[in-house]
């Protein structure tokens, strides 16, 4: 048990009950801390909220589960088994791609089925895919097994890894690595989209992130029956069984410092909570700007590049679409140019690409009988772009509905109902996301590992960071793994990758 000099149990406060905060609270509890988890919203989950509208259910946040062992570990900390509480169902195909020329490509659960799909586009690319998969495994063996769960609080931690990263040519971008093995333009697109799942432009994101491809191939792509909200609920029940104090509507105004040491937090109602350890589970820049006024200037001198924003459209349909996959990637006519407009010039384009989630393909409870539940995610510029969402949101809604009706969801405009959406402004207001970015800072090489926000503050003792903006990065595997990094920082004991 972790105790103070007087023998009392040490206290930890975790700010933010997203997946990073939940995983950290559980790991701290397993280390013997008395844990208080503070959440400004009314529910657990952070961005993984659940919306109920007219009989339809929508997971508002992450919908793709990879690296399921990371969730197994949280139950194993307390001698429990995940399968006693949750049902992770493997999906096949992982994703179905719909291209602008009307062609379709299924990224399948087995390698042979995937090769069969690739050969429909390019026979030569089948061999190229196997070489890409081999390279992705090598990157995974270094990037995930050796780097993801290691703290990068000292520059030497990064320097030690440079030889391995150079050998794997991780100074290249994901797009460059993919293009060196695949030749067909559409197959290149299909295997370059993984950085977008964690907020990166594949033409700018370091090739370290090709490990995501092998992560999927090694473990599969899963859906949690009942949705991501069910996963959040069960983790909440686990926390309660372990005596973690969860407080909702708990808005933190300040992290209390004494002699450059975090000593607790002050809430918006002026209540204070003492702590021996404070962990912030939101955007680090938000913390430095708003919760540490007495420690300014604390932000790094180099300006951070933030991920794209997200426009998320939710709706139900009074019609079944059995031919639509659980996960669909609807690709627009342009790829590189569109991403440049979103990430670099930060302007709205006339075209777009979409991620379409149809949970009713696997779990009928998401919609009334004879109906479907849908969630469409459209990458857009973050709030650093000059976009008037009070007018653009409805225009984009109409353009997306028209495009889907003309392609994979015929008759959509006549059967659609219970339509609503979120814009980058909602991400900024609801989740205090810097610039309304969907995934905090971009996963560029110069914003990865040691170059990312550190998991432990270098000047303030007992202040730690978890979540998308810290090492190792965004996405469910990244944010859940950030809790393991904090555990290693506290114990000095390496926490295994599990993979």
DSSP string, 461-481: BTEEE-STTBSS-SSHHHHHH
* Dihedral sign of CA atoms 332, 336, 337, 342 in order: positive
Alpha-carbon separation of residue 407 from 92, 103, 218, 316, 324 (angstroms):
22, 11, 32, 17, 11
- Which residue in 246, 297, 278, 287 sits closest to 433, CA to CA? 287
> CA 35 to CA 282: how far, in whole Å?
17
Determine the pLDDT at residue 8: 74
> CA 444 to CA 473: how far, in whole Å?
11
Tokens of 88: 């992770």
Does residue 472 have a cis bond before it (omega within 30 degrees)? yes
> CA 189 to CA 19: how far, in whole Å?
29
Number of other CB atoms surrounding residue 134 within 10 Å: 11
Determine the pLDDT at residue 374: 98
Tokens of 71: 């969730």
- Which residue in 217, 209, 222 sits closest to 112, CA to CA? 217
Q: Please say whether the beta carbons of 440 and 472 come within 8 A.
A: no
Q: Please say whether the beta carbons of 61 and 51 come within 8 A.
A: no
Q: Please say whether the beta carbons of 178 and 206 come within 8 A.
A: no
Q: What ranges in 412-455 are assigned the alpha helix state H?
A: 412-415, 424-431
Q: Please say whether the beta carbons of 17 and 10 come within 8 A.
A: no
Tokens of 215: 């992560």
Q: Which residues contact 309 (CB under 8 A, 6 or more apart)?
A: 379, 380, 381, 382, 383, 385, 423, 424, 427, 435, 436, 437, 438
Q: Which helix (H) or strand (E) is 135 found in, with range?
A: helix 124-142
Determine the pLDDT at residue 280: 98
Determine the pLDDT at residue 187: 98
What angle in degrees, to the nearest 10, is found between the helix axes of 111-119 and 124-142?
Answer: 140
Tokens of 332: 């627009």
Number of other CB atoms surrounding residue 263 within 10 Å: 19
> CA 324 to CA 93: how far, in whole Å?
11
> CA 165 to CA 167: how far, in whole Å?
5
What angle in degrees, to the nearest 10, is found between the helix axes of 228-241 and 19-30?
Answer: 30
pLDDT in single tens digits along all 499 residues of the chain: 566 655 578 999 999 999 999 999 999 999 999 999 999 999 999 999 999 999 999 999 899 999 999 999 999 999 999 999 999 999 999 999 999 999 999 999 999 999 999 999 999 999 999 999 999 998 888 766 666 666 766 665 666 666 666 666 777 899 999 999 999 999 999 999 999 999 999 999 988 888 889 999 999 999 999 999 999 999 999 999 999 999 999 999 999 999 999 999 999 999 999 999 999 999 999 999 899 977 655 555 557 899 999 999 999 999 999 999 999 999 999 999 999 999 999 999 999 999 999 999 999 999 999 999 999 999 999 999 999 999 999 999 999 999 999 999 999 999 999 999 999 999 999 999 999 999 999 988 788 777 788 999 989 999 999 999 998 989 999 999 999 999 999 998 776 656 5
| Digit-coded pLDDT (tens) for 246-298 | 999 999 999 999 999 999 999 999 999 999 999 999 999 999 989 997 765 55
């Amino acid at each position: 048990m972790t105790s103070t000099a007087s023998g009392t149990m040490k206290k930890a406060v975790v700010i933010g009950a997203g997946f990073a905060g939940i995983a950290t609270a559980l790991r701290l509890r397993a280390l013997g801390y008395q844990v208080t988890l503070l959440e400004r919203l009314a529910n657990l989950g952070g961005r993984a909220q659940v919306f109920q509208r007219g009989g339809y259910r929508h997971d508002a946040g992450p919908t793709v589960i990879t690296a399921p062992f990371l969730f197994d570990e949280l139950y194993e900390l307390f001698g429990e088994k995940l399968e006693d509480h949750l049902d992770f169902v493997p999906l096949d195909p992982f994703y179905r791609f719909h291209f602008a020329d009307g062609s379709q490509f299924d990224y399948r659960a087995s390698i042979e089925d995937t090769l069969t799909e690739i050969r429909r586009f390019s026979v030569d690319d089948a061999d190229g895919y196997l070489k890409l998969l081999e390279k992705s495994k090598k990157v995974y063996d270094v990037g995930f097994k050796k780097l993801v769960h290691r703290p990068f609080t000292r520059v030497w931690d990064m320097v030690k890894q440079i030889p391995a990263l150079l050998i794997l040519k991780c100074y290249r971008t994901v797009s460059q690595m993919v293009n060196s093995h695949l030749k067909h333009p559409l197959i290149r697109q299909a295997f370059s989209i993984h950085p977008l799942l964690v907020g990166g432009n594949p033409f700018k994101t370091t090739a370290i992130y090709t490990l995501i491809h092998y992560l999927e191939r090694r473990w599969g792509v899963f859906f949690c029956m009942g949705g991501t909200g069910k996963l959040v609920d069960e983790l909440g029940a686990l926390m309660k069984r372990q005596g973690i104090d969860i407080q909702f509507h708990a808005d933190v105004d300040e992290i209390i410092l004494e002699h450059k040491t975090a000593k607790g937090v002050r809430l918006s109602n002026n209540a204070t909570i003492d702590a021996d350890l404070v962990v912030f589970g939101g955007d680090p820049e938000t913390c430095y700007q708003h919760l540490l006024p007495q420690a300014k200037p604390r932000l790094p001198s180099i300006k951070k590049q933030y991920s794209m924003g997200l426009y998320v459209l939710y709706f139900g349909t009074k019609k079944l679409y059995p031919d639509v996959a659980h996960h669909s990637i609807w690709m627009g006519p342009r790829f590189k140019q569109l991403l440049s407009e979103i990430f670099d010039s930060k302007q709205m384009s006339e075209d777009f690409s979409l991620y379409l989630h149809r949970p009713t393909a696997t779990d009928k409870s998401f919609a009334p009988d004879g109906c479907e539940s849908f969630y469409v995610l459209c990458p857009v510029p973050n709030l650093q772009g000059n976009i008037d969402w009070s007018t653009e949101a409805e225009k984009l809604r109409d353009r997306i509905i028209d495009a889907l009706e003309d392609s994979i969801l015929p008759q959509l405009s006549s059967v659609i109902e219970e339509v609503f959406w979120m814009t980058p402004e909602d991400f900024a207001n609801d989740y205090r996301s810097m610039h309304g970015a969907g995934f905090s800072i971009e996963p560029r090489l110069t914003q990865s590992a040691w170059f990312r926000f550190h998991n432990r503050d270098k000047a303030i003792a007992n202040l730690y960071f978890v979540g998308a903006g810290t090492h190792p990065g965004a996405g469910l595997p990244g944010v859940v793994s950030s809790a393991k990094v904090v555990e290693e920082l506290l114990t000095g004991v390496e926490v295994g990758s599990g993979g």
